[in-house]
Structure 1
Amino acid sequence: MISPFVLRTGIIAATFVVAGFVKGMTGMGLPTVAMGILGTLMLPAQAAAVLLLPSFITNVWQLFAGPGVRALAKRLWPMMAGIVVGTLAAASFIAGGGGVRAVAGLGVALTLYALAGLMAWRFSVPPRYERWLSPAIGAVTGVVTGGTGVFVIPAVPYLQGLALKKEDLVQALGLSFTVSTIALAIGLVSENAFAIRDLRESLFAVIPALIGMFIGQRVRGRISPESFRRWFFICLLALGIQLIARAFV
């Protein structure tokens, strides 16, 4: 008979191999996939705690992969400030004892992200709107992050709408995800929702995540990106619907 510890460790390892594979293929998606899978097995606050170190390490790697970090930080700092404020303000939601609402919120976030991806939703942000829209988008992203542990809504569609060069977009996503991870960690600690066991599991999850990233990067050129993204969003949609249904059963 498999012990609960071995079973939990195996599930975490498999989850982060899959999540790392998705990030290696697409440049994003590790937190989203990890939260979606682990959210079906544990409370979102526990899943978010396990997510912290693999997310931080892989996103810092992505952030510093190019030369434009300083310019992007100067341009996007209002958005980053909004992410921090929104995440800290909402951290009590994911850390609270009522896990049902957090599970439902996670399901809604995954469902919206999947639908946006499947419909190829894109919009353009005129430069004159960026000054006030950037902190607002950051704050909303922070609230979603603090409430669900998912960093992508609405940050990813917004950054895609800024007409950044491909390399700059990858770095901007890395910057947004890194700041979100740090803010979420601070929020969980301030709410006493981060235990020593979570730190051990988070550290353990780094290796499977890096293995998955390596595999994803190697496979990226052999699979049609359009086909992969379509099935990725379909799987996220199924996860989101399952989490919403679970919260109300």
Structure 2
Amino acid sequence: MSDLLLAILPVFLLAGLVKGVIGLGLPTVAMGLLGALMPPAEAAALLIVPSAVTNIWQMLAGGRLIALGRRLWPMLAGICLGTWAGSGLLARDPTGHAATALGAALIVYALAGLAAPRLHLGPRTEAWAGLPIGALTGLITAATGVFVIPAVPFLQAIGLEKEELVQALGLSFTISTAALALGLARDGVFGFDIAGASLIALAPALAGMWLGQWIRLRVSAQTFRRCFFLGLTALGGYLVLRGVL
């Protein structure tokens, strides 16, 4: 366990730093790096506490939580249903397909971030699209431990203001983390030992967030974001190649 902690502490420091600079990316970076060191199910379990605490913090920062909950409840319900429907995909994966799927998800997310497409969904489309978007996000969460696709592009496309978007991301990620934690606990992955390690990982994650916020005030976030997505593309490609070779 001591060797494991030495390996994961810098991972969560880096992941927290990324979240502090661009507002998201902690589970994505952590899953990508830890997926190269351990089974994806264990990596997903390790990120539960740092992800939950940082996302609750982000979710509560602002005065629009109730209004956002009313607006986004179909997507949030879909996330829960999709995650629970796919529960066990990470835990029962002796072939390593989950790591390959994780790599593919990272590449898709990174390429979408680099392209920065200007999508827009009207109220009518938003009303019916929320549930299937959430369900698909939940299934991808259950299979890979990454809960940004396609929820993040959807939230970016429905016309939220900047601060509303940040709070909506925190709300979406909090629900995804809770649903994933319940699924992993049911599958016997998120036990006391891994929960303790996850709690220890909270400290470097918070330190990384603080450092990232400090950096965000001094460098171009757009430049850092571009480097971040390029790095994720390379990391995802490595995981895919490792899984198919």
- Structures share fold, TM-score greater than 0.5: yes
- What is residue 37 of structure 2 aligned with on the other side? 41
- What is residue 241 of structure 1 aligned with on the other side? 237
4+ long deviations beyond 4 Å: none
Amino acid at match of 2:148: V
- Select which of 47, 53, 66 maps to 2:49: 53
TM-score (norm. length: structure 2): 0.98
Amino acid at match of 1:94: L
- What is residue 136 of structure 1 aligned with on the other side? 132
Runs of 5+ in structure 1 lacking a partner? none
- Select which of 147, 158, 172 maps to 2:168: 172
- Select which of 4, 17, 42 maps to 1:8: 4
- Select which of 81, 85, 95 maps to 1:85: 81
How many Å apart are 1:99 and its aligned residue? Answer: 4.6
TM-score (norm. length: structure 1): 0.96
- What is residue 201 of structure 2 aligned with on the other side? 205
CA RMSD of aligned residues (A): 0.9
Amino acid at match of 1:93: L
Amino acid at match of 1:41: L
Work out the CA distance in 1 between the residues paired with 2:86 and 2:62. 32
Structure 1 residue 187 corresponds to structure 2 residue 180 = no
Runs of 5+ in structure 2 lacking a partner? none
- What is residue 146 of structure 2 aligned with on the other side? 150
| Offset from partner CA, 1:12-46 (integer Å, 9 cap, x none) | 11000000000000111000000000001001100
How many Å apart are 1:7 and its aligned residue? Answer: 2.8
Structure 1 residue 64 corresponds to structure 2 residue 64 = no
| Offset from partner CA, 1:129-155 (integer Å, 9 cap, x none) | 111100110000000001000010001
For the 8 Å contact 1:44–1:99, the answer to whether it is kept is: no
Work out the CA distance in 2 between the residues paired with 1:108 and 1:97. 16
Q: How does 1:17-28 map to 2 (within 5 A)?
A: 17-28=13-24
- What is residue 155 of structure 2 aligned with on the other side? 159
